[in-house]
């Protein structure tokens, strides 16, 4: 596990939910670390490294691929007990509305000329591109799965109706109206609706189950 100083680690990490740390004793954990430990935002998490242990309140969830996804963000005072001797590696500056980030970066570079400092300008508009792509992929896969499921139901009903064409013909000859015929065909798929409702509770349970709990069950 790698611990980071809050003043430098925010660069390159995207906040998915919650908020960034604002006081000692608070941390932001990566999505993978939250899932493995079974921790949620608002809970207290016990973090342990070879340097010591730390109990801190989780106030946010971040997305990153560094350090195998095991990332902790907090201030130096909070992370000193598990990070050993953390060093400041940089500062993130938030600009007021209307200030051009690139112009500010150029002026800051000129002011720091001759020092071993590099100024990087990060455009906020492109900060969430990775997350947006992932959400779009999930939405696409969900749509495809829904389409396949609807196609399966349609094929089943068509085949079932064709097999019962003789029965339907007899019923219509006895006075069955078109509306009654439609109701009969629609009622044949209420078994699928009931199955979906019955699966709703297990589906919610599965979506809320943390990987850590599942692995302990094995």
94 to 100, 124, 127, 170: CA distances (angstroms): 11, 10, 14, 77
**Cα torsion 63, 65, 70, 76: sign:** negative
Paired with 63 in beta bridges are: 14
- Residue-range domain boundaries for the chain: 2-92, 96-127, 129-217
pLDDT score for 109: 84
- Block mean pLDDT (10 aa), the chain, length 218: 38 74 86 83 83 86 72 80 70 79 84 78 58 84 88 83 84 85 80 75 75 56
pLDDT score for 18: 87
- Specify the DSSP class assigned to residue 122: -
pLDDT score for 140: 92
Kindly write down the DSSP assignment for every residue of 5-61, as one continuous string.
EHHHHTTT-EEEEE----STTEEEEEHHHHHHHT--TTSEEEEEETTEEEEEEEEEE
**Mutual orientation of helices 165-173 and 129-163 as an angle, nearest 10°?**
60
Q: Are 2 and 67 in contact (CB under 8 A)?
A: yes
| Cα–Cα distance, 154 to 148 (Å, whole number) | 10
pLDDT score for 70: 76
pLDDT score for 11: 44
pLDDT score for 141: 92
Pick the CATH number of 2-92 from 2.40.40, 3.40.50, 1.20.1050, 2.60.40: 2.40.40
Q: Are 46 and 1 in contact (CB under 8 A)?
A: no
């Amino acid at each position: 596990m790698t611990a980071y100083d809050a003043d430098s680690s925010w660069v390159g990490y995207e906040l998915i939910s919650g908020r960034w740390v604002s006081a000692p004793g608070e941390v932001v954990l990566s999505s993978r670390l939250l899932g493995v430990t079974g921790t949620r935002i608002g809970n207290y998490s016990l973090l342990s490294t070879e340097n010591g242990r730390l109990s801190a309140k989780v106030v946010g969830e971040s997305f990153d691929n560094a350090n195998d996804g095991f990332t902790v963000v907090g201030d130096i005072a909070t992370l000193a007990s598990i990070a050993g001797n953390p060093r400041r590696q940089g500062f993130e500056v938030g600009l007021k509305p209307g200030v051009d980030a690139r112009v500010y970066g150029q002026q800051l570079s000129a002011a720091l000329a001759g020092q071993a400092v590099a100024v990087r300008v990060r455009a906020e508009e492109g900060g969430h591109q990775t997350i947006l792509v992932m959400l779009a992929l999930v939405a696409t896969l969900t749509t495809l799965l829904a389409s396949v499921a609807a196609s399966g139901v349609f094929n089943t009903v068509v085949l079932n109706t064709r097999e019962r064409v003789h029965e339907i013909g007899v019923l219509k000859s006895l006075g069955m109206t078109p509306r009654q015929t439609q109701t009969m065909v629609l009622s044949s798929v209420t078994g699928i609706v009931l199955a979906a409702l019955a699966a709703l509770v297990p589906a919610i349970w599965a979506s809320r189950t943390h990987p850590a709990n599942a692995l302990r069950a094995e």
